[in-house]
Chain A
Amino acid sequence: MATIRIPTPLRKLTQGKEEITATGATVGALIASVEAQYPGLKERICDDAGQVRRFVNIFANDEDIRFLKGLETPVKDSDEISIVPAIAGGR
């Protein structure tokens, strides 16, 4: 099981959980598995074409997956995946 760190703006979709765990051979497979557990999370991370949104970044063990293999980046059980969206605002 890889650990996925959920940023504060998306925790409403994970019942407030800061970290969740999921299984998947790649970052893309992991996101699909996360979506099954927490519906609605994937569309906040990926666009309609399934690509990572351009204002969201995913880090696999602190490495930006855009400079690895994107959603095809392999994931091991002990890996830590961070989802990092751009944030702004707050009234």
Chain B
Amino acid sequence: MLFAGLALSYNLRVILLGVTALGIAAGVLGAFLLFRRRSLLADTLGHATLPGVVVAFMAAAQLLDGGKPFAVLLLGALISGWFAVRAVQFLRRRTPIREDAALAIVLTVFYGAGVVLLSVVQNLELRGSSGLELYVYGMVASMSRSDAWTLAAVSVAALGVVALLFKELRALSFDEGFVAARGLPHRWLDEVLMSACLVVTIAGLPTVGLLLVMALFIVPPATARLYADTLGGTLVVAGATGAVGAVAGALASARVDHLPAGAAMILATSALFFASLVAAPRRGLLAARLRARGERRLAVESQVLRRTLGEGGLDPAHLAGCERAAVQRLVARSALVSKDAGLQLTDAGRERAHALARTEELVALYLERHPRSAPARLLLHVERIEDVAPPETITELERALGATGEVSR
């Protein structure tokens, strides 16, 4: 068992189950937000719950006596989050204000109101008002077993919604115009997605805190984009990243006194993100660096080969630094040989040089014939016209080249 060596109490295990579900649900929902360019929504939702929590606390202090009004506070958070969603939708659909501004306006107005209310409450010195900070920063230690089960249930329900509406949410996040034109209920789908995010946000408040709950929606999908090529894969990686980060953060928070769980989870998740950013195969920074170096080398090598072909040999004395390295590699691959104090092409090298020259002419012809449609990448990757031009076009160009006999083999 994963945690066998850690000797976890039953309580902590239940809590870890809860935050695992939270991490998965937030990561998966966050992926859809990311594709809809709406990641900020999670931030707005988190902050917008504050006035609801505080008002609910005041109401509970007046009306109820004693006991921890946990459910009441979450209900308050839900109501104020719901109003925030309505406000965002209203600004977005009915006014010229754009989405990013709408999200920022709602976030600041709601959070500002919440901070004012919070200071009022704390001045009143009501019993238990210090516990409100819990909702701002999050604390695993205070989580009860039933809280954890609720968290797990809500997260699983949200995942169920995603599973049921997978194809619709995929279409919505790829091409909303098409979904609308097709008569699919795109507004309804949008509301469902937002509601799922809202409910998961609220469920995560006591653990993560309202300031940082957004990160569980944003960082895992951003990590997943570095690996996955399919939507399913993105969701899986995002969910896994969210789960690992949440569990690591919760464990740390449970073991270290006064370590806020939200901050610990976000740091753990971010560590995964940064590691991926550097080391992810293909899309990581390291991979990009290596690829760029490979392409640069290839470019210099082809230059050297074509020059040797054109000039019928190469004088090693007239080589720039990077060319010297390229010559060494070409000699090692027996495309070039040293002969009579000069460099000559081998048969294989000659063939390669001819192919390169031909590609170059094809590209030139392509740009001349189809200036509108020639992909910009063509200019950068002279090596691989096959990858950027449709096969029919290549056939056409080759026929045209062959007809004019520009290439001598």
The answer on A and B forming one complex is no
Contact residues of A with B, CB < 8 Å? Answer: none
Contact residues of B with A, CB < 8 Å? Answer: none
